[in-house]
Amino acid sequence: MPKDTPTAESPLKGKTGLRRIVNAFFNSLAGLRAAWRHESAFRQEVALACVLLPVVFAVPMPGVERALLAASVLLVIVVELLNSSVEAAIDRISFDHHPLSGRAKDIGSAAVLVALVLLGVVWACVLPERVLALL
């Protein structure tokens, strides 16, 4: 790359090594706190996870099935965090109605819906067989 070519890197990305990892960890915790404080959907999905994840570890099943159930729950939280970040960025730009802003928010919401459907499908495929085995 030629010397005079500008880079897209942020000048704030100067930290490396262990300091970067520590900073990233605390930034992640701040993000989780912000999501909890400002996003009711995130709180609802965490409540759902608090109900479902104990079931994952209470019902005897092979590790792969346990991982599928837990991953489907955690995926909903990940997608919700990403959706919330898209919505916050769009709201930062403008509260004015714009078709592209609406489209971006709707697509983020659709991603959460797809993750929730996936959760339902995985749980409907795995859990009934395990519960019947207990009876």
39 is catalytic: no
Tokens of 63: 């590790």
Collapsing DSSP states into helix, strand and coil, what is residue 92? Answer: helix
Catalytic residue among 39, 80, 87, 129: 80
For residue 86, which amino acid is it?
A: V
Number of helices (H), then strands (E), belonging to the chain: the values are 4, 0
Our measurement of the distance from residue 83's CA atom to the centroid of its chain's CA atoms, rounded to an integer in Å, reads 8
What amino acid occupies position 125?
Answer: C
Residues labelled as active-site residues: 80
